[in-house]
Amino acid sequence: MNLNIFQLRSLKTRVTLFTLAIFVVSIWSLALYVSRSLREDMERQLGEQQFSTVSFVAAEINEGLALRVNALEKVARFIDKFLLDNPVALQQMLGTRFFVNLFNAGVVAVTADGTAVADAPVVSSRRGTNYFNNEATHIALTEGRTVIGRPVVGRVLHDPLFHINVPIRDAEGKIIGALFGVINLAKPNFLDRIGEHHYGRTGGYLLIAPQYRLIVTATDRSRIMQPLPAPGVNPQIDRFVQGYEGYAVYVNAVGVEILNSVKAIPVAGWYLAANLPTAEAFAPIQDMQRRILIATIILTLLAGALTWWMLRRQLAPMLAAAKTLAAMQNTSLPPQPLPIARQDEIGELIGGFNRLLETLRQREEALERQRQEQRRTILRTVMDGFWLADTQGHLLEVNEAYCRMSGYNAQELLAMRITDLETKESADETAAHLQKIVVKGEDRFESRHHRKDGSVFDVEVSVQYRPGEGGRFVVFLQEITERKQAEQELRRSQQELRGLAKAANEAIEAERRRTAREMHDELGQLLTALKMDLESLHSALPSDKPDLGKRTQAMHALLDATIAATRRIASDLRPLMLDDLGLAAALDWLTHNFSKRTGIATDLVIDETVAQVPEPICSALYRITQESLTNVAKYAQATRVEIRLERDGDSVQLLVRDNGRGIEAADQQKRGSFGLLGIRERVMLLSGEVSISGKHGHGSEVRARIPLTAADAQDGGARLEQAIRETSTSS
């Protein structure tokens, strides 16, 4: 073999070596460039897909937490001081509420000092336990806000758990207790979907409470209730804790590089993380790098033998491939296979690249199929019904929850349209409603649907329109039949309570009338007789006893003051002229005394068309006027008050207007006026209407309208006596 061709003085040797060097550098540079570009593209695509999956799961968890918070807040509004003081009744109320199923460790009601008085289901050692030192319960009792507490090991259950706490307020808004639900992480709960699914083959999910740097639950059950690394140990974890949402590649605490995505759960202030080792995520890239390495070695060896006579021919396809790759990177279209000019080493390299693209495409399709299967799995496990429908109203997909609601199986439902199930809207109304949702993008409303057995049930519908794939409606349906029945029962209970309150008011007025009459007739007569006896005694005193005379005069003055105070107290309790002379005379006496006492001019106008009104209405109108004048004297700084009483159809209307500084809504709330509250309650108990308005510097106005057909006092008294007997029996 002639070795002269490899001598450095040979032009062919120098050209071959130089060309070979250029070729080797070029192919390795291209391999590095392609590898890095594909890794960046794959990292972005996998990161976005992972973040999308995490966002979907986080939204489900957020919805689950919000559902439980709303359920607790609704029930807390039904609990009052009476129920908290009656553990048996409260226990019965909690035990019959469907929301108990939302908390696998039950719900607990505590008093203002944190002591548990009722729970459902009953845990013997839980009632009587004081939870005031529990952070979440303490906040709910002292600050009056809803709190999702820190995951802890329970004192009673001895399992990892967390509380959802809501305050209980009385009618004045004062905190009188708290209601909390308990989620036991060691038992099946709505967060188990995190532990039941891996992300990829080796990845998983973590639900984290960043405010405590604590893992709530995870796919790896051994990490439940484990703390995060201390601040400063891992900057990327610190970034997620500080509120960053998205994906990132970093080395975790055990030294493994992972692709991690994080999405916040706003209701609890938590976030959900999904991680996948990059060894699995970027396996195709590593395989491609190995292939490129093998191909490069082969091409380098072949080029060493053939470059000196095929240099130009070999480089042409490579240059063409490089230009095509550069053009592909600058476009948003998916990568296309590179054309193969000749079946040589470069052709094999391009073919290997094309096979890699095909592998990536298959990988993306597999990931998409996996995502769809995960979505179907989640929808099968959710408690709410689910539809996927097209713009014509045809059902394309349903879940088992809606099948159970409606009684139809999935095959029957997929052959139906929305109009076949809807009862509140006609077909045309449903079509118009769908068009509105297309324009608006989403909607939430209540409706009624047919069951297979012919019955109907109430549902709350949440719809989102997604324009992709020709337009789809994503519909979630929650059955609210029991809630609607509970609302009806609540309205009936409120009506009964209003009747009892009205009867109580009337009973109070009757007792005031009796007390005032006895003070006027009996105590007044006794004091008058005592005064007459004292006068006789004074006139009979000897003139040589001046000290006794002064004492009897002082006693006489004190007795006069006592008589005046007795008359004033009797009038405040119930002016006798209200019963003896009627409402007009009582109002005239009230306004005359008011002007005399305060110096404020009073203009009283009573319409002649106002005849005698029923006693409960008469008492209410007098008390409203009395309270209004009291407020004017205390706060208005007025010089004139106008009072008008007139008949308006089947109602009687009272107007009290002053020219003072004016009361605004903010003043009413700041003052928390019990007088104004009493006015509203009196009018509402008689099925009337009341408005209290004012403008700063332009006076205030109280306007009350009461129907003359309001229920009489006898019916209310009977209801009050019956309620007292029932309460005594139950006690």
In a domain, 118, yes or no: yes
Q: State which of 472, 497, 530 marks the end of a domain.
A: 472
Place of tokens 């709410």: 384
In a domain, 63, yes or no: no
The string of DSSP codes covering 436-495 is HHHHHSEEEEEEEEE-TTS-EEEEEEEEEEE-GGG-EEEEEEEE-HHHHHHHHHHHHHHH
In a domain, 248, yes or no: yes
- DSSP at 600: -
CATH number at residue 443: 3.30.450.20
β partners of residue 472: 466
> 389 and 368, same structural domain?
no
Q: State which of 325, 342, 375 marks the end of a domain.
A: 375
CB 450 within 8 A of CB 458: no
Phi, psi at residue 334, to the nearest 5°?
Answer: -65, 150
Burial track 686-700 (b if 16+ CB lie within 10 A, e otherwise): bebebebebeeeebb
What is the pLDDT at residue 283?
77
> Within 13 A of 694's CA, how many CA atoms are on the CB side?
26
In a domain, 486, yes or no: yes
> 123 and 221, same structural domain?
no
Cβ count within 10 A of residue 542: 8
Show the low-confidence residues of the chain (pLDDT under 70): 1-16, 19, 96-100, 156-157, 195, 303-322, 328-335, 344-346, 371-372, 374-383, 469-470, 494-549, 553, 556, 559-560, 563-581, 611-612, 664-675, 710-731
Indicate the number of domains in the chain: 6
Nearest to 662 by CA among 703, 694, 630: 694
In a domain, 211, yes or no: yes
CB 500 within 8 A of CB 719: yes
> 107 and 13, same structural domain?
no
What is the pLDDT at residue 523?
61
Token pair for residue 330?
Answer: 């600058």
- Check whether the bond before 335 is cis (ω within 30° of 0): no
> 448 and 419, same structural domain?
yes
**How many angstroms separate the Cα of 369 from the Cα of each of 80, 375, 414, 566?**
52, 10, 21, 89
Q: Helices marked H in 79-181 — which ranges?
A: 81-84, 87-95, 135-142
> 34 and 98, same structural domain?
no
The amino acid at 671: R
- The Cα 83–Cα 691 span in angstroms is 32
207 backbone φψ class: left, alpha, beta (φ>0; ψ -120 to 50): beta
Residue 293's contacts (CB-CB under 8 Å, 6 or more residues apart) are: 31
- Check whether the bond before 235 is cis (ω within 30° of 0): no
Burial of 647 (0-12, 13-18, 19+ CB in 10 A): middle
> 523 and 591, same structural domain?
no
Question: What is this structure's pTM?
Answer: 0.39
> Within 13 A of 625's CA, how many CA atoms are on the CB side?
31
CB 413 within 8 A of CB 393: no
> 685 and 612, same structural domain?
yes
Structural domain that includes position 416: 382-472
- The Cα 110–Cα 382 span in angstroms is 31
CB 688 within 8 A of CB 727: no
What tens digit of pLDDT does each residue of 406-423 get? 889 888 888 899 888 888
- The Cα 27–Cα 32 span in angstroms is 9
Token pair for residue 279?
Answer: 């060894």
> 323 and 333, same structural domain?
yes
> 292 and 262, same structural domain?
no
In a domain, 54, yes or no: no
> 643 and 561, same structural domain?
no
- The Cα 652–Cα 644 span in angstroms is 11
Q: State which of 244, 260, 281 marks the end of a domain.
A: 281
What tens digit of pLDDT does each residue of 77-117 get? 888 888 888 888 888 888 765 566 788 888 899 998 989 88
> 310 and 323, same structural domain?
yes
In a domain, 305, yes or no: yes
> 100 and 24, same structural domain?
no
Q: Are strands 640-648 and 601-606 parallel, antiparallel or unpaired?
A: parallel
Place of tokens 């919805």: 63
In a domain, 51, yes or no: no
- Written in H, E and C, the secondary structure of 367-402 is HHHHHHHHHHHHHHHCCCEEEEECCCCEEEEECHHH
